[in-house]
Amino acid sequence: MIASSLSRGKRVYATKNNNNNEIGLSLTILNTPEDTEVIVLEMGMRGRGEISELTNIAHPDVAVITNIGVAHMELLGSRDEILKAKLEILEGLAEGGLLIMPYADEYLQKAVAEGMIREDVKIAYTSTETVVLDPLPYGLAYAENIYCEGARICFTAAAGFGALQEFDLAISVVGKHHVGNALAGLLCGLYFGIAPELVAEGIAAFVQIGHRERLVNDEGVYFLDDAYNAGPESMMSAFESVRRLAKHSKAFACIGDMLELGDVAPQKHFEVGAKAASVGLDGLLVIGDFQKNVVDGAFSVAPEMPVFIFSDKEKMAEKLTELVSEGDYVLLKASHAFEMYTILDSYGSIVRKGNEP
């Protein structure tokens, strides 16, 4: 999203795929064309010390932290430790560099309040709700009037460094959580002096890659293939997305485990099940070691909700063919190891009796 935001006003090079460890980040830097003006680097992390190494290779001028969630809790043990691991990015941030982060994140606010951020670092906040701050931070971008147009999210943003300007923006995505990502991209573009209308064009041109929110029509049934990876936050957002896209048609979800959550895994899978029920999904198909927690969560909200458990994805695809009708929507989502996108192939093979589409 950041690379797209900058693309109309700067020569940009960015991390490909998920080349975000010490090898991938280094290769990205070494492969950067000589005429590049801005390089956008993803820094991956599963434990302490990893972002420290990456940021001291990259020495960024701008750092963006999108949230302090629960992914990788298994190795880090707590969100406080995840916070510390992500704040390692500041070790390599240039003196007087910019840190962009969401205003609503309680852990990042804690970092500010407790002096965990260097005094020379300039802070810019994003918010998916209107915020009035006094005094204003160095930079701010917030969204208003968020609404959906099919597979597009539209909103008005107020953003800037000092005086705020208003922008009408649209993103070709289905998840509302991308508004926060777009705001981070907007701030990056304005910070680098790109004309606002060019930043807006770049945001509008953003397209998802891989198995991320890919909408596929198979014999009249719409699959939201978001199977690249999953955590509690993204899983819950995906439930809302598929329910919204389906409108008055039925919406189902085929899901698997969210990995690397450690001791909080049972509770987080319970919460995911409860969310599936609370948004009004018409059926939940579950595979993985934590399926009982998902089922218990769903039944805690809607005891009559149709929930089906499976030991393999072929059986899940077979059941899906019995449940869906033309015009229905199906979400595919789990951690990457589950390769939930293969259900789409299995489903197609069954409904077409092995014939090519």
Question: Across all residues in the chain, what is the average pLDDT?
Answer: 94
Residues 202, 356: Cα–Cα separation, whole Å = 37
Question: Taking residues 293-305, what's their average pLDDT?
Answer: 97
Q: Contact at 8 Å (CB) between 117 and 90?
A: yes
Residue 299 banded pLDDT, cuts 50, 70, 90: very high
What is the pTM (predicted TM-score) of this model?
Answer: 0.84
pLDDT band at 104; cut points 50, 70, 90: very high
Taking 70 as the threshold, does the pLDDT of residue 354 lie above it? no
C-alpha neighbours within 13 Å on the C-beta side of residue 207 = 5
Collapsing DSSP states into helix, strand and coil, what is residue 236? helix
Give the pLDDT confidence score for residue 357 in this predicted structure: 61
Predicted confidence band of residue 2 (pLDDT cuts 50, 70, 90): very high
Burial class (CB in 10 A: 0-12, 13-18, 19+), 313: buried
Domains of the chain: 2-204 (3.40.1190.10), 214-351 (3.90.190.20)
Q: pLDDT band at residue 231, thresholds of 50, 70 and 90?
A: very high
User: What mean pLDDT do residues 218-224 have?
Assistant: 94
pLDDT tens digits for range 9-31: 999 999 998 899 999 999 999 99
What percentage of residues in the chain have a pLDDT greater than 90?
85
* Residues paired with residue 307 on neighbouring β-strands, in sequence order: 284
Q: pLDDT digit string (tens) for 145-155? A: 999 887 889 99
> Which pLDDT score, from 0 to 100, does residue 57 have?
97
| 356 pLDDT more than 70 | no
Question: Residue 355: which pLDDT band, with cuts at 50, 70 and 90?
Answer: low
Confidence class for position 175, pLDDT limits 50, 70, 90:
confident
Q: What is the average per-residue pLDDT within 174-194?
A: 94
For residue 230, the model assigns a pLDDT of 92
Residue written as tokens 């406080």? 80
Strands 251-255 and 283-287: parallel
Nearest Cα neighbor of 157 from 185, 134, 135, 136 is 185
What does the alpha-carbon distance between residue 270 and residue 276 come to, in Å, rounded to a whole number?
A: 10
